[in-house]
Amino acid sequence: MDSAGGLVSDLTQHAGDPVLVVNAGSSSLKYELLAAGDGTRMARGAVERIGEDGGAQAEAWHETSRSRHETSDACADHHAAMDIALRAFATHGPRLEQAGLVGVVHRVVHGGDRFVDPVVIDPDVLAAIEALVPLAPLHNPANLDGIRAAQAALPDLTHVAVFDTAFHHTLPAAASTFAVPRPWRQQWGVRRYGFHGPSHAYVARRTAALLGRDPADCKLVVLHLGNGASACAVDGGRSVDTSMGLSPLDGLVMGTRPGWLDPAVAGHLARLAGMSIDEFDHALAHDCGLQGLCGHNDFRAVMDACRDGDPDADLAVEIVVHRLVGVTGAYAATLGRLDAIAFTAGIGEHAADLRAAVLDRLGIFGVELDVAANAAASGETRITTTKSAVAAYVVPTNEAWEMARSALTVLTR
């Protein structure tokens, strides 16, 4: 168990800018208490399976610098989940009332055209996030549930929204505009927005630091490869192209999402298979990607299946590699020069064989893999040789810290 004295001293040490970062999904509420200034994590946890089985049993975990606690609890909604999280802080520490919190920071997936910076949440902002629900029907409602639950539980604190789309507001029109009729674009908001902003921003900054260069002078490709996956071309610290579009379904092959798809597929399946828009939407979110290709949405399971000789799993990995090579090459041309490629998130940080397959095929750009460094990579690691014309790195992402850091601009104003 935690000793209260030890935790208090941890908190005093980082009393600068402790913030609570909240990331609410449709059936989960993840949280992290950290010092926004230096990223020191004081606690983190999650409540999962919220509202499932009629709210009968959610699973929760809470981790401090010294211990980890797991519980099962009835949990019907995000308000109940927030109560579970606050109870965990009260029971296992650190005590939030002693933490000197400067605010609560919420991840919101879609900020549309309106939100390009972190913003203090007031009724007008809540209404605007609600108005953006049609652009992110799976994500923004859950984000709103999390905000409302946290505001009710911690009413005296300032709550800030940080948007996944915001980092990409610098996309040039040629990259953000779809070739569709004007009313689709002007009236219905049809364009490329991009997602995973905090991750791309954080990894791009760290990659510049690893290169020993000013971010303003770096041309980078960041490959965020997790359950959701997206690529980003970063020029001088600004996003200039990215693979996700109007929604997080576009671009790379993901756990259950297809990525790039001919738009004719929707009409084709409607006419031939009698598929409704709702069925199609559901399948795009849940049944495609690695899942659709080989029956596993988890990349570790896909690799196990490859080792067992499953040809469907082999093809799935080949498609993943094909797209990563294609997107990196295209972004290198867009950038006009490529200084480094950064791999991040669960697959990017851990799947050494996948990184090797991608980098081997990027030899045309003078990429030269350091086989041993890649195989042994742990934490921030350069995985190309010193002779390589383009550097490649593994850079573990830290979205919570990036969100906390960026929120400080409005919290300490």
**Residue closer to ligand AMP (CB basis): 108 or 377:** 377
Instruction: Report the run of H or E that residue 238 belongs to, with start and end.
Output: strand 238-242
Integer Cα distance of 196 and 281 in angstroms: 21
- Cα torsion through 73, 145, 113, 285, rounded to 10: 50
Q: Examine the residue annotation and report whether 164 is marked as an active-site residue of this protein.
A: yes
Q: Which residue is nearest to ligand AMP (CB)?
A: 346
Write the CB contacts of 220 (distance below 8 Å, at least 6 apart in sequence).
204, 207, 208, 233, 234, 235, 335, 338, 339, 340, 341, 342
337 binds ligand AMP, rule: CB under 6 A: no
49, 32, 5, 212: which is closest to 106 by C-alpha?
A: 32
Q: How many residues does the chain have?
A: 413
- Report the site for ligand AMP in 245-264 (rule: CB under 6 A): 255
Candidates 42, 240, 252, 351; binder of ligand AMP (CB under 6 A) is 351
Contacting range for ligand AMP; rule: CB under 6 A; set: 141-149, 242-250, 343-351, 370-378: 343-351
DSSP sequence for 36-56: TTT--EEEEEEEESTTGGGGT
347 binds ligand AMP, rule: CB under 6 A: yes
**Residue closer to ligand AMP (CB basis): 132 or 383:** 383
Provide, rounded to whole angstroms, the least separation between the CB of residue 150 and ligand AMP.
23
**Residue closer to ligand AMP (CB basis): 147 or 290:** 290
299 binds ligand AMP, rule: CB under 6 A: yes
345 binds ligand AMP, rule: CB under 6 A: yes
Write the CB contacts of 200 (distance below 8 Å, at least 6 apart in sequence).
167, 222, 224, 230, 232, 234, 239, 242
Provide, rounded to whole angstroms, the least separation between the CB of residue 168 and ligand AMP.
19
Contacting range for ligand AMP; rule: CB under 6 A; set: 31-39, 106-114, 237-245, 293-301: 293-301
286 binds ligand AMP, rule: CB under 6 A: no
**Residue closer to ligand AMP (CB basis): 187 or 378:** 378
Contacting range for ligand AMP; rule: CB under 6 A; set: 7-15, 180-188, 342-350, 365-373: 342-350
Strands 219-225 and 340-344 turn out to be parallel
Strands 159-163 and 219-225 turn out to be unpaired
Footprint of ligand AMP (CB under 6 A): 226-227, 255, 298-300, 345-347, 350-351
